[in-house]
Amino acid sequence: MEEIRQNLALDRNQPVGVFDSGVGGISVLRELCKVMPEENYIYFGDSINAPYGTKPLEEIRRLTIANVEFLLRQGAKGIVVACNTATAAAVRVLRNMYPDIPLVGIEPALKPAALQPGHPTVLVMATPMTIQLEKYKTLMMRYEQKADIIGLPCPGLMEFVETGNTDGEDLKQFLEELLSPYLREIDSIVLGCTHYPFVRRMIEELAGERVRIFDGGNGTAREMCRRLTKAGLRTSRRERGTVTFENSLAKEEEIELSWNLFQKK
Ligand code: DGL
């Protein structure tokens, strides 16, 4: 690690590194490409170790640090932690380890949901670990005067997206069972895991038009843009940049799934 740190000479035309426990963070990558289309991106999905959200904290931290180091070795000039679980578990550790690198995490978009008028009831869907961690509890406490907030751990949901299932009958049934106890009382849903935007349409169908859905991907992309700009690290390229997918499963199908999700309408 010391070696990586010493060799870091950040250049504005290097790629932006993005990672997640698997393919979910591609929902954030899509937002990054909208906000900064000229940048090059390298996306790492740690699918071999997915899910993170049901693993012990220390293990999530260790895997997260390994992902950052992998991306830095690939020449990343900045890092987006496109995983709510890894952010909640390790972003502070990462900031201490890499103080000179623009590094942005993602957290559930509770703020815009809770600040809707009329003291709304907000359902936060996330991994068991995200909901259990201090970072989430602090976030919740900040808005508990403004809204009724229900944290819903969703073990098993990310696995559908990892296997490329975003519209199957089995997924619909899973979501129905998960959400039906809450649907009458809630005004909005926060997608607090980066895999969930890929099943958003199905959640919308079940929840109906009355329920608003919030996702932190775009805010995270804009924050990364601000950080890179401030550090003088925005690319000088004018044309559209490139996207490269890497996955710890190192299988052709995994890269194919990544492209499919990236291009999904
Ligand atoms: N996509 C991840 C998140 O945003 C985690 C899914 C998992 O590995 O459990 O929390």
pLDDT tens digits, one per residue of 154-187: 999 999 999 999 999 999 999 999 999 999 999 9
pLDDT tens digits, one per residue of 191-205: 999 999 999 999 999
CB 135 less than 6 A from any atom of ligand 1: no
**Average pLDDT of span 77-85:** 98
Nearest-atom number in ligand 1 for the CA of 85 is: 10
CB 85 less than 6 A from any atom of ligand 1: yes
pLDDT tens digits, one per residue of 122-137: 999 999 999 999 999 9
Q: 96 CA distance to ligand 1 centroid (A)?
A: 22
CB 166 less than 6 A from any atom of ligand 1: no
Q: pLDDT-derived band of residue 7, with 50, 70 and 90 as boundaries? A: low
Beta carbons within 8 Å of 63's beta carbon, 6+ residues apart: 21, 46, 49, 52, 55, 86
Catalytic residues: 83, 193
Q: Give this prediction's pTM.
A: 0.96
CB 133 less than 6 A from any atom of ligand 1: no
Beta carbons within 8 Å of 223's beta carbon, 6+ residues apart: 104
CA distance 198 to 221: 17
Question: What is the CA angle 69-75-76, rounded to 5?
Answer: 75
Total count of residues recorded for the chain:
265
Q: pLDDT-derived band of residue 8, with 50, 70 and 90 as boundaries? A: low
pLDDT of residue 265: 86
**Average pLDDT of span 4-31:** 88
pLDDT of residue 189: 98
* Whether residue 3 has pLDDT greater than 70: no
pLDDT tens digits, one per residue of 207-235: 999 999 999 999 999 999 999 999 999 99
Nearest-atom number in ligand 1 for the CA of 106 is: 4
Q: What is the mean pLDDT of the chain?
A: 96
Please, which contacts does 115-118 make with residues 24 or more away whose CB atoms are closer than 8 Å? 115/143, 115/146, 115/147, 116/147, 116/187, 116/188, 116/212, 118/187
Beta carbons within 8 Å of 71's beta carbon, 6+ residues apart: 17, 18, 19, 42, 44, 79
CB 23 less than 6 A from any atom of ligand 1: no
Q: pLDDT-derived band of residue 251, with 50, 70 and 90 as boundaries? A: confident
- Hey, what are 133's tokens? 């961690």
* Whether residue 4 has pLDDT greater than 70: no
Task: Report the percent of the chain where pLDDT is more than 70.
Answer: 97
* Whether residue 6 has pLDDT greater than 80: no
CA distance 114 to 128: 21
Q: pLDDT-derived band of residue 5, with 50, 70 and 90 as boundaries? A: very low
Q: pLDDT-derived band of residue 2, with 50, 70 and 90 as boundaries? A: very low
Pocket test for ligand 1, best of 27, 49, 193 (most atoms within 8 A of CB): 193
